[in-house]
Structure 1
Amino acid sequence: MVVGKMKFTFQKRVKLAQGLWLLAWVSTLGGAVTFTLGCFLKTELRRRGEVMDNTDIHCVPNTLLIVGLASMGINYFASRICQDALDAGRFPQWKTFLKPYYGCSIFFTTLMLISVILSYAMMGSLESSLKIGLKNGIRFYKDTDTPGRCYQKQTIDRLQMEFQCCGNSDYRDWFEVQWISNRYLDFSSKEVKDRIKSNVDGRYLVDGVPFSCCNPSSPRPCIQYKITNNSAHYNYEHETDELNLFNRGCREALVNYYMGLMNTIGAAVLSVFMIQSSVLASVRLLQTSMEAVAGQENVEIDTEGYLLEKGVKETIMEYLDPLLKLLLLNQVTPPEAQAEAGASGTTTS
């Protein structure tokens, strides 16, 4: 059963070729935009790599980079087809290239759609990656003298100030770790000794946070230490007063930032996908409508174009059959089967 059958006059074929040429170049520009968005997202993810536990999320920008480059090549090829589309003598030379072209186009267009779906579906992976990464970042905040962690403090401080956040889930995360290095503790002080002895692991824990958690918009000077001690500060109620710290956790802030970024990129790539699909369908209609003109003296005759000569299932199998046959030929025959084949040959003899 023919799918998408349409009738074309000579004027309609001319308009289709001209419109397709313009659409192909618009889609080429869309491919460049997709590649650029992939580069931007890749850069943003690498900037925060120190607070991410895994690199699964990088599959989104990597896919965008691949489909962006492929889209530019595919649509440039489509624009060249359009230039020769109305020349009955030159158009047949493209015939041998069109089947591989459709195969590549469908594959990369589908991959573009998958990248859009991934950009909306990676929230869980992103959140779990940030949860572990930020936990480790806070844990190693004090290790400014340890190779490989020298800039961990700078990274966390800049992150908290830039995204106006504090801790992993909230500011209380800093109460659970020793974020002040032993290098800056006075071990002759009774208070320091008592705090270390009172902890099972021998850590110096305080109900305080780094300076980068302070909210500059607060009218009150920053209460950075003894946050839960109401008597340590004048006119202060820990449970009721609005703290002059950032109340939002950095995990929430980063998830919102990256998901907003990926959702925006996903919407842009979805638009490119629709244009790319239109180019693919238009090239197919132009090709099939021109096949009837090949060998004809009168190129202005009416012709018919279609998207698929057979049904969708039959067309898919037509493309898959050569690949399946190739895979079957490359399969190694098991020794038992070889022995049986040899025995049957001997019996026949």
Structure 2
Amino acid sequence: MAVGKVTFTKAEREKLAQLLWLLNWISVLTGVILFSLGLFLRVEIQKRQEVMSDQEILYVPHMLITTGLVACCINFLGGKICYECTDTSKFLRWKLVLLPYIVCTFFFTFCVLVGALMCYSIRNQLEESLFLGLRNAMRYYKDTDTPGRCFLKRTVDLLQMQFQCCGNAGYRDWFHVQWISNRYLDMTSSDVRDRLRSNVEGKYLMDGVPFSCCSTLSPRPCIQQQVTNNSAHYNYRHQTEQLNLWRRGCRQALLDHYTSIMRSIGLIVLLIWLFELLVLTGVRYLQTAMENVLRLGNPDCESDGWILENSLAETARSNFNIIKNLGKCYQVDDDPNINVPTAGQQEVPSRPAQIPVAD
């Protein structure tokens, strides 16, 4: 029994073909939207590439860009096919093309679904990339004279001011890295020399943060040096000073930013997938209905259309039997004709050898 069987009159087939022609052109626009979303996501990721450890997450925007381009081509062809399927004589040109077209469209629609799921599953990989990238950026923050790293100070400062964040996981991360260049340190000071000697790696560590960590909401001048020393400042308790420095880490801020973008894009791509699935179903109905018209030989009669010609169980069973019988052959021991003489074969009786008698 066919799955999703529907009977169409001639007028209904023509209306279905016209509707699918329109929907395919709308699908071309959805392909442009997919391409634009992928391009936008790529640009957003590359904006922060200095604070990301790798660019492997770019496979998501690349997937959307490729899918969008393929969608434009496939749906443009689908619109032309559906427009000519209103006429039975023109349908004969596309009869052999329709089934491969539907198969390709099915796999393309599956790729759209995969793209939507990728937008929701990339969070963990993005978090790890941000963690490692921010850690390296903070480590090289002081290297303003080193080629290839001189831009990191500006990048990190702009990032902390724009996203109102500080450090990787919090402002205390700056206590564990030397973020002041040695050329700004007074090496004649005993305090500086003692700090350098006290660290195994010879780093100048202190409980201070860059100016970009200062909160613009603070009612008092920002305290960025000796942050944990209450006695060094008037009427100051660093445990309760919530407005002095940005408390949120930049990793969490960027992760929230990209997660919001990914969820919005994922929702749009999921809606596009549902729309493409609707168009694919309609094209399948049109294909089977027009093929049945050709079998009946009367272009004005009613015809049946379906999604699958047989039920899911029958289709699965037939495919399983085909796979099971692949490579199957008779074994020698099971050959029913073995040891059976043919008509041309005759048994020759054996004679005893004659021994010559000497005279």
Which of the five TM-score ranges fits, normalised by the shorter chain?
0.7 to 0.9
Contact 1:3/1:307 (CA < 8 Å) preserved in 2?
yes
The equivalent of 2:343 in structure 1 is none
Residues 268-325 of structure 1: CA deviation (Å, up to 9, x unaligned): 0001101111111101101111123338775332111111223457768999999x9x
CA distance 1:150–1:315, shift in 2 (3 Å): farther
Partners of 1:116 and 1:141 in 2: CA distance: 36
| Equivalent position SS for 1:294 | helix
Deviation at 1:54, TM superposition (A): 2.4
The equivalent of 1:155 in structure 2 is 155
| Equivalent position SS for 1:292 | helix
The equivalent of 1:55 in structure 2 is 55
- Counterparts of 1:1-349 in structure 2, within 5 Å, are 1-294=1-294, 298-312=298-312
The equivalent of 1:337 in structure 2 is none
Partners of 1:120 and 1:106 in 2: CA distance: 22
Partners of 1:241 and 1:54 in 2: CA distance: 36
| Equivalent position SS for 2:89 | coil
Partners of 2:25 and 2:318 in 1: CA distance: 30
- What amino acid is aligned across from residue 256 of structure 1 in structure 2? D
CA distance 1:309–1:296, shift in 2 (3 Å): closer
Partners of 1:63 and 1:254 in 2: CA distance: 22
CA distance 1:202–1:243, shift in 2 (3 Å): farther
Partners of 1:168 and 1:119 in 2: CA distance: 24
Deviation at 1:9, TM superposition (A): 1.2
- What amino acid is aligned across from residue 103 of structure 1 in structure 2? V
**Unaligned 5+ residue runs, structure 2?**
328-359
Residues 152-173 of structure 1: CA deviation (Å, up to 9, x unaligned): 1111111111111100000000
Please identify which structure carries the higher helix content: 1
Partners of 1:85 and 1:78 in 2: CA distance: 10
The alignment covers a number of residue pairs equal to 324
Contact 1:171/1:246 (CA < 8 Å) preserved in 2?
yes
Deviates more, 1:238-247 or 1:69-78: 238-247
Deviation at 1:240, TM superposition (A): 2.0
Deviation at 1:11, TM superposition (A): 2.1
- What amino acid is aligned across from residue 148 of structure 2 in structure 1? G
Deviation at 1:12, TM superposition (A): 1.5
| Equivalent position SS for 1:220 | coil
The equivalent of 1:332 in structure 2 is none
CA distance 1:57–1:315, shift in 2 (3 Å): farther
TM (norm. structure 2) is 0.85
| Equivalent position SS for 1:90 | helix
Contact 2:217/2:243 (CA < 8 Å) preserved in 1?
no
- What amino acid is aligned across from residue 241 of structure 1 in structure 2? E
Partners of 1:318 and 1:210 in 2: CA distance: 70
| Equivalent position SS for 1:7 | strand
- What amino acid is aligned across from residue 117 of structure 1 in structure 2? L
- What amino acid is aligned across from residue 101 of structure 2 in structure 1? Y
Partners of 1:83 and 1:268 in 2: CA distance: 28
Give the superposed CA RMSD. 2.2
Partners of 1:81 and 1:315 in 2: CA distance: 27
Deviation at 1:249, TM superposition (A): 0.2
Residues 58-109 of structure 1: CA deviation (Å, up to 9, x unaligned): 2211111111111111111111112111111111111121222122111111
Q: For the pair shown, which has the larger CA radius of gyration, 1 or 2? A: 2
CA distance 1:315–1:296, shift in 2 (3 Å): closer
Deviates more, 1:22-31 or 1:290-299: 290-299
Deviates more, 1:132-141 or 1:187-196: 187-196
CA distance 1:317–1:149, shift in 2 (3 Å): farther
| Equivalent position SS for 2:304 | strand
Partners of 1:250 and 1:174 in 2: CA distance: 12
- What amino acid is aligned across from residue 302 of structure 2 in structure 1? D
Contact 2:102/2:283 (CA < 8 Å) preserved in 1?
no
Contact 1:289/1:303 (CA < 8 Å) preserved in 2?
yes
TM (norm. structure 1) is 0.87
- What amino acid is aligned across from residue 5 of structure 1 in structure 2? K
Partners of 1:2 and 1:240 in 2: CA distance: 71
- What amino acid is aligned across from residue 208 of structure 1 in structure 2? G
| Equivalent position SS for 1:117 | helix
Identity of aligned residues (%): 51
Deviation at 1:36, TM superposition (A): 0.5
Contact 1:67/1:109 (CA < 8 Å) preserved in 2?
no
Deviates more, 1:263-272 or 1:53-62: 53-62
Deviates more, 1:228-237 or 1:289-298: 289-298
